[in-house]
């Protein structure tokens, strides 16, 4: 199949019902987090309580290298002592139907969404979902009795984006993007704030000329 031009690819994406040009960061409540805690997290992200708001999404450990505590080769030391604890901010490239699914499965009520091109310019990138058997190798070090199982032949710069697909884990449905490290942003860069409609009065304080749009995820049942 011939490669599509950039104009053709853009048109195809915009005409496809399964493509989204929003990247959404959602605050999950399926782990026991209360409505008040989620609301306060979103207020903190937006800097609503600050005299001089400094909106910021804080990074947390992500990806296979953080979860597996994998041995990482460090070219500076010549040893397997590289730092596998990478942190990033997570987003989903979900359509409205996908956001509704997240709401149902993860009990999401709060979140914020940005234009995908905006976050791409900041440095965000789609995650790499790779079969485990394509990454896992066994290496026996001189003097050691047993082989080491390593996941280290992906460039360090890509580690924050790597998810492993195996029988116990498959996150491809999340259509995940990540931004490495904390992500500072301007309130004007937000496209949507998701929260229950009875909380609109709290978050409307950051709106200018009606933007960003406040949206209750429960409304998705009416679409």
Contact assessment for residue 108 and residue 218, using Cβ atoms and an 8 Å cutoff: no
Determine, yes or no, domain membership for 170: yes
Residues in the chain: 223
Q: Is the pLDDT of residue 15 over 60?
A: yes
Neighbours of 31 (CB within 10 A): 7
Total structural domains in the chain?
Answer: 1
* Angstrom distance (rounded) from CA 58 to CA 27: 12
Scored b (16 or more CB within 10 A) or e, 153-174 reads ebebeebbbbbbbeeeeeeeeb
At 70-126, the pLDDT tens digits run 667 776 777 777 666 789 999 999 999 999 999 999 999 999 999 999 999 999 999
69 located within any domain? yes
Q: How confident is the model at residue 68 (pLDDT cuts 50, 70, 90)?
A: low
The pLDDT tens digits of the residues spanning 138-167 come to 777 788 888 776 665 677 788 889 888 887
Which pLDDT score is estimated for 185? 97
Structural domain contains residue 36: yes
Domain assignment of residue 15, yes or no:
no
Q: Tokens at residue 10, please?
A: 């853009």
pTM above 0.75, yes or no: yes
Q: Does a structural domain hold residue 184?
A: yes
Among 6-10, 127-131, 170-174, 201-205, the range of highest mean pLDDT: 201-205
User: For the CA atoms of the chain, what is the radius of gyration?
Assistant: 20
Q: Is 8 within a domain?
A: no
Local structure of 188: helix, strand or coil: helix
Q: What is the mean pLDDT of the chain?
A: 87
Spatial separation of the C-alpha atoms in residues 87 and 67, rounded to whole Å = 11
Do the domain assignments include residue 1? no
Query: Exposure of 208 by Cβ count < 10 A (0-12 exposed, 13-18 middle, 19+ buried)?
Result: exposed
Query: Does any domain span residue 9?
Result: no
Average pLDDT of the residues in 216-222: 95
Answer whether 80's CB lies under 8 Å from 71's CB: yes
pLDDT at position 1 over 60: no
Residue range(s) defining the domain that contains residue 91:
21-222
Of 51 and 32, the structure prediction assigns the larger pLDDT to 32
pLDDT value, residue 213: 97
């Amino acid at each position: 199949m011939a490669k599509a031009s950039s104009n053709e690819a853009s048109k195809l994406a915009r005409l496809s019902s399964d493509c989204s040009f929003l990247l959404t960061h959602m605050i999950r409540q399926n782990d026991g987090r209360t409505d008040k805690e989620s609301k306060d997290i979103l207020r903190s992200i937006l800097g609503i309580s600050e005299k001089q708001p400094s909106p910021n999404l804080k990074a947390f450990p992500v990806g296979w290298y953080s979860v597996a505590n994998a041995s990482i080769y460090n070219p500076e030391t010549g040893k397997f002592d590289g730092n596998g604890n990478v942190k990033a901010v997570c987003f989903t490239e979900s359509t409205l139907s996908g956001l509704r699914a997240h709401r149902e499965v993860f009990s999401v009520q709060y979140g914020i969404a940005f234009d995908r091109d905006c976050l791409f310019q900041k440095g965000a990138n789609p995650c790499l979902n790779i079969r485990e058997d394509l990454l896992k190798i066994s290496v026996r070090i001189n003097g050691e009795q047993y082989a080491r199982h390593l996941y280290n032949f992906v460039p360090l710069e890509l580690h924050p984006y790597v998810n492993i697909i195996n029988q116990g884990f498959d996150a491809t449905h999340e259509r995940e993007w990540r931004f490495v490290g904390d992500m500072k942003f301007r309130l004007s860069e937000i496209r949507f704030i998701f929260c229950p409609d009875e909380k609109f009065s709290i978050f409307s304080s950051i709106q200018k000329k009606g933007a960003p749009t406040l949206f209750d995820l429960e409304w998705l049942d009416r679409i």
